[in-house]
Amino acid sequence: MAISGVLRPGYVQVRVLDMKAALVHYRDRIGLDVVTEGNDGRVFLKAYDEFDHHSIILREADEPGLDFLAFKVASEEDLDILHEKLINAGVTVDEIPPGDMPSVGRRLSFVSPTGHRIELYATIGLDPTGPMVNNPELWHAEPRGMRALRFDHCLLYGDDLDGMKKLFIDVLGFTTTEQVVAPDGTVIATFLSCSIKAHDIAIVRHEEKGKLHHISFLLESWNDIGHAADIMSRYNMSVDIGPTRHGITRGQTIYFFDPSGNRNEVFSGGYQFYPDHPVRTWTTDEVGKAIFYYERALNDRFMTVVT
């Protein structure tokens, strides 16, 4: 496929209740590296296999949840094109000049139909501890904790799923990979990709706007999922479900919570997707198997707990 437009998820800013506890969780347990701390108290982190300056931003606040989710765009020219497309679609766009965030160029920021703030950017500096490029070793320093490779995707909950899907497909150029459909044809959940991944973002229809279901981190293999489970038990971390497997995306997974109540996922595997592939559809009577392929049933907490 042509490498243009939106390339991939870039970074996410998450609200946490206690920064010290959050750093133990994201740095020591998941295995992210702290890159810098801003003058405003925000902490910028990245996984060891990511080139960019940061992918996770933690902000201490009075309630948990998502501040914004950002996607990397191929070029400044593509950013201009998307700016015009968003305006033509009736979206109010704020342009944020460089300087508000370390190493990031100008950004486009807008509120999506589901009430989530989305950002687009084309320019970000590289972190010197990113993957080597000359006679590259596997890593600079031995990975720790769950050995997360990268920030992978988010699942968002919101009311206007149809508007969100239209925006991401018609304006931002994403493609539907998979969906859950009710008997009357209503789409309950949609999985969208701007790459060859099974999904770069997922959205579930929900009565409230602007809710976060989970932030996902890629691990290398099923063995690493098991290693992550060992860490969760060793440190008495709050686990939602897993290790298990998805029917949707076919990925292996564990869902768990950070100390503030934000749900995280560690994820491995999953199929590769190309835009000419048919959409894979699950019906609501099989949604248990779609989400948890081994258990074939949902738990109430997974469906109702969001931040």
Q: What is the pLDDT of residues 14-58, one digit of tens each?
A: 999 999 999 999 999 999 999 999 899 999 999 999 999 999 999
Residue 90: which CATH number? 3.10.180.10
- In this model, does residue 1 exceed pLDDT 60? no
**Do the domain assignments include residue 277?**
yes
Rg (CA), the chain: 18
pLDDT tens column, 235-259 = 999 999 999 999 999 999 999 999 9
Strands 175-181, 187-193: pairing kind: antiparallel
199 is catalytic: yes
Residue 85 inside a domain? The answer is yes
Per-residue pLDDT tens over the stretch 287-299: 999 999 999 998 8
Secondary structure of residue 116 in the 3-state scheme: coil
214 is catalytic: yes
153 is catalytic: yes
Active-site residue 255, yes or no?
A: yes
Residues 168-208: pLDDT tens digits?
Answer: 999 999 999 999 999 999 999 999 999 999 999 999 999 99
pTM of the model: 0.96
Which of 255, 293, 294, 295 does the annotation list as catalytic? 255
168 and 288 in a single domain? The answer is yes
- Give me the catalytic one of 50, 119, 178, 265: 265
pLDDT for the residue 300: 82
User: Does the residue 249 lie in any domain?
Assistant: yes
The DSSP secondary-structure symbol of 201 reads E
For the record, the structure tokens of 232 come out as: 């969760």
The total domain count for the chain is: 2
- Mean of the per-residue pLDDT values of the chain: 96
Same domain membership, residue 63 and residue 173: no
For residue 246, indicate whether it is catalytic: yes
119, 137, 153, 293: the catalytic one is 153
Asked if 111 and 186 sit in the same domain, the reply is no
Q: For the chain, what percentages of helix, strand and coil (3-state, to nearest 5) are there?
A: 20, 35, 45
Catalytic residue among 53, 54, 83, 199: 199
Contact between residue 42 and residue 24 where contact means Cβ atoms under 8 Å apart = no
293 is known as an active-site residue: no
The single residue of 83, 206, 213, 246 carrying the catalytic annotation is: 246
